[in-house]
Structure 1
């Protein structure tokens, strides 16, 4: 057999290769600098744009349902949806703020006057193990000399007040960010069809013409499934439990219902709120028939997410529900509330790509091993 010896590179060829490689490195470096520079400019608006995309994808089916029924224009329909959404958010927030201000003013009036007093502790408290004696002394001082106790705890109270005000300011900034994201989401929804085409083009450019449309549809379906299975279930639980609290006359029923909503979004059980409330009702009103019914209903409503979540979380997504749930929990831990949506999307896309890679077998290998068994296994079967 005659072997062909490879041609040796001349000095001119080496110069051409070096020049081409240098051009490629310079272009790649300039592109990297441009990308880093653009990302630094865009970074302050990253969370705002991400929230806007999530809200637009979540609310777009509602716009499709209302298209032509209220307004013929997509822009007007999107404006109506966003206006209603902002009203739904701002009205309860305003009422909650007014209730908090009234509660603070009432507490300050009671503290200034003689209407506020703490009953002395029972002697049995001192007999509690470990914490009994310190708790009894603290409680006794609070009941006899509340002003002196407040002066003694002034540094701790100051730090707690500063932390509380910081939390309130963070909530306010988050609320403004959410309202701004809703407004930008309305703009995205007004150009929903063009946005869908652009998303498919980007995904096709990244992953190929076969996978691009499927990945785009998977991302949209995952975001909507998380919105329904997490936020929607938390809202349903808040309504079920909040109505029971209001009918029963539980103090601060609105705040407790809001706490149930926040716990549901954070994937924490609502029983953290319902069980203490049940104990409070039995401790103050006794074990009457109405209280037993209230306790049973509230406890079952607190566990409703265990039934609703498997039904709604993976709905419409070609990915198993545990994958979406793990993505939501992991994203919440690593990225906060916005990670609640980004985590399932990333995990669902990775899950689909992994199994497509597993099933992507070369034609020669498939012809040699049609049963998908290894060489030893195939021989054993035959």
Structure 2
């Protein structure tokens, strides 16, 4: 048997060994992913919270004599307070609104005022709208018979969404506890993350990769999710104090609109018009309007402070991440999606604009075309 044939057989065996090992690793990764997949959202959200809150944990631990565990417990308690108090108020508002609407429907105390005469003069839709409105105001039972089938389907959808939101809040609470454990061992976690990044990108680019991921997560979590949560709390306080029906639902809509990077004035403007229509022009209405407008425009001040810390993520990336995360993972994906997509975008763009390695040729001049040996 010739040497070439022996070398060919050896190469074939080595290639077969590599393929078998790669196949076994792929099967192992697949099974590990299937086992880990139910907990993926919780773990991702825990890591995002831990990275976002870790600077606060470090400052608090320094004041407590480097007691990182106690600092993590305090941060988790503060996070729960910031979550439970607004959500409790908004949940009570939602329950009161639903109960009031149920009493109104059951007692048949709901009334539709007759249309103003000017409606009849509107072009195209004036006549049919005026007749339909008049019929509805005179015969309320006909209105209930027409909208009852639609309300049944709508109520089922609303209850499903509310259940998803409740599950998302439970996931957030659990993730907050897990993030406390991660922050309590933040030094070892930081070394592990640096080792993983170094293993992926090498010792030259590994620390930069880890720093970029950390900065992106903190900037997006604070500048997008954090700002939207602050706006929700501010707007929710104004709605609850003013006694606006459905204040909890409206505040949640402000949170969703803020995360997907739409102006919160889309929610605030109809509410302000409703308050002026209900209460008229007065001191309370004017103060309420100023409060809501300032709360709605607060993102113009908060976002440059929180989102502009070392990273520049285009708003379409945040929008796609929020919508895609919500469609794929529900309400919790609305928070995780922008952070992960922004991090992926930053990593991709840093790879695109990464300068080629520069070496020195034998003549002593720089040769950017040859990699380092």
Normalised by the length of structure 1, the TM-score is: 0.82
Q: Is the 1:313–1:325 contact (alpha carbons within 8 Å) kept by the matching residues of 2?
A: no
Q: State the distance in 2 between where 1:293 and 1:110 align.
A: 30
Deviations 1:288-331 (A, max 9, x none): 6875676566445433323432343121x2x4x2x354432332
Match of 1:21 among 15, 31, 37: 15
Q: Is the counterpart of residue 360 in structure 1 residue 354 in structure 2?
A: no
Match of 1:328 among 315, 318, 340: 318
Q: Is the counterpart of residue 351 in structure 1 residue 349 in structure 2?
A: yes
The structure showing larger relative contact order (alpha-carbon pairs under 8 Å, at least 6 residues apart) is 2
Q: State the distance in 1 between where 2:68 and 2:303 align.
A: 32
Aligned residue number for residue 377 of structure 1: none
Q: State the distance in 1 between where 2:85 and 2:282 align.
A: 36
Q: Is the 2:90–2:247 contact (alpha carbons within 8 Å) kept by the matching residues of 1?
A: no
Task: Evaluate the alpha carbon distance shift between residue 195 and residue 283 of structure 1 in structure 2; reply closer, same or farther with a 3 A threshold.
Answer: same
Q: State the distance in 1 between where 2:243 and 2:174 align.
A: 36
In terms of Rg, which structure is larger?
Answer: 1
Report the secondary structure of 2:63's partner residue: coil
Aligned residue number for residue 141 of structure 2: 147
Aligned residue number for residue 44 of structure 1: 38
Q: State the distance in 2 between where 1:251 and 1:165 align.
A: 18
Q: Is the 1:324–1:348 contact (alpha carbons within 8 Å) kept by the matching residues of 2?
A: no
Task: Evaluate the alpha carbon distance shift between residue 288 and residue 212 of structure 1 in structure 2; reply closer, same or farther with a 3 A threshold.
Answer: same
Deviations 1:203-242 (A, max 9, x none): 1000001111111111111111112211232244345545
Q: What aligned pairs does 1:1-382 form with structure 2 within 5 A after superposition?
A: 10-70=4-64, 73-113=67-107, 115-238=109-232, 240-242=234-236, 245=239, 250=244, 252-253=246-247, 255-286=249-280, 295=289, 298-299=292-293, 301-315=295-309, 317=310, 319=311, 321=312, 323=313, 325-336=315-326, 337=334, 338-356=336-354, 358-364=355-361
Report the CA distance between 1:200 and its aligned residue: 0.5
Report the CA distance between 1:174 and its aligned residue: 0.9
Report the secondary structure of 1:10's partner residue: helix
Report the CA distance between 1:109 and its aligned residue: 2.3
Task: Evaluate the alpha carbon distance shift between residue 365 and residue 262 of structure 1 in structure 2; reply closer, same or farther with a 3 A threshold.
Answer: farther
Task: Evaluate the alpha carbon distance shift between residue 94 and residue 295 of structure 1 in structure 2; reply closer, same or farther with a 3 A threshold.
Answer: closer
Task: Evaluate the alpha carbon distance shift between residue 80 and residue 309 of structure 1 in structure 2; reply closer, same or farther with a 3 A threshold.
Answer: closer
Q: Is the 1:326–1:344 contact (alpha carbons within 8 Å) kept by the matching residues of 2?
A: no
Report the CA distance between 1:275 and its aligned residue: 2.0
**Which structure 2 segments of 5+ residues have no match?**
327-333, 369-373
Normalised by the length of structure 2, the TM-score is: 0.84
**Which structure 1 segments of 5+ residues have no match?**
1-7, 373-382
